[in-house]
Amino acid sequence: ELKVEQNPLFLSMQEGKNYTIYCNYSTTSDRLYWYRQDPGKSLESLFVLLSNGAVKQEGRLMASLDTKARLSTLHITAAVHDLSATYFCAALDTGRRALTFGSGTRLQVQP
Amino acid sequence: ETGVTQSPTHLIKTRGQQVTLRCSSQSGHNTVSWYQQALGQGPQFIFQYYREEENGRGNFPPRFSGLQFPNYSSELNVNALELDDSALYLCASTDTGWAGYTFGSGTRLTVV
């Protein structure tokens, strides 16, 4: 059964700093997704990573995928308060045709 | 292009009752899946529908059931509600390539 682990679970950082969220998954998966969730809201799609070595960037966020290490990272550059949210990674379990989510990383950016 | 819409947005039910949640998929998407998100946790997969058939299921009991209609919209039914069923229920649609999942705004179910 596919399992997804994220760390850290909580991250408090100052504006202007850089940090990385890590997402490990336990068995082979060829799709890795990153989502953002604001309190009380639904999931907003950030990135879909489809192959080994894939790197995608949008604004201050950059995601990468290493399928051999079963690791994806979400790097935050020069954080701003608006990035405060919970970030989830999810791996596609093709056997069950389902997304398996990590527990989420609650990011708090302090001014 | 319309996104995924869910109804109702909030619902309060009594333990033992039954509930039906509804979802309209994004235009062009033929696959719908449902997720349960308890407070402070990641979403958990309930099941998925493709061509009106369930083709994937998570670790949820049979009292969680669903339907998909010819227009790809879907329903989630939960019988014999328990307090632990209180959660945000998310519907997601995708195409068969799983290139991207679009989530609806969710239904917040409270069981008292």
Q: Taking a C-beta distance cutoff of 8 angstroms, is the pair A60, A18 a contact? A: no
Residue A69's pLDDT is 93
Kindly determine whether residue A99 and residue B56, on different chains, have CB atoms separated by under 8 Å: no
Report how far residue A88's alpha carbon sits from residue A103's, in angstroms, rounded to the nearest whole number.
Answer: 7
Kindly determine whether residue B42 and residue A99, on different chains, have CB atoms separated by under 8 Å: no
pLDDT digits 0-9 by tens, A38-79? 998 999 999 999 888 889 999 999 999 999 999 999 999 999
- Interface check A33 vs B, CB under 8 A: yes
Kindly determine whether residue B42 and residue A98, on different chains, have CB atoms separated by under 8 Å: no
What pLDDT band is residue B1 in, cutting at 50, 70 and 90?
Answer: low
Query: Which residue carries 């998310």 as its tokens?
Result: B90
How many pairs of residues across A and B have Cβ atoms under 8 Å apart?
61
Kindly determine whether residue B56 and residue A96, on different chains, have CB atoms separated by under 8 Å: yes
Model confidence at A30: pLDDT above 90? no
* DSSP class per residue in B19-82: EEEEEEPPTT--EEEEEEE-TTS--EEEEEEETTEEEEE-S--TTEEEEE-TTS-EEEEE-S--
Q: SS3 of B85, please?
A: helix
What pLDDT band is residue B80 in, cutting at 50, 70 and 90?
Answer: very high
Residue A69 neighbours by CB distance under 10 Å? 10
Residue B49's pLDDT is 94
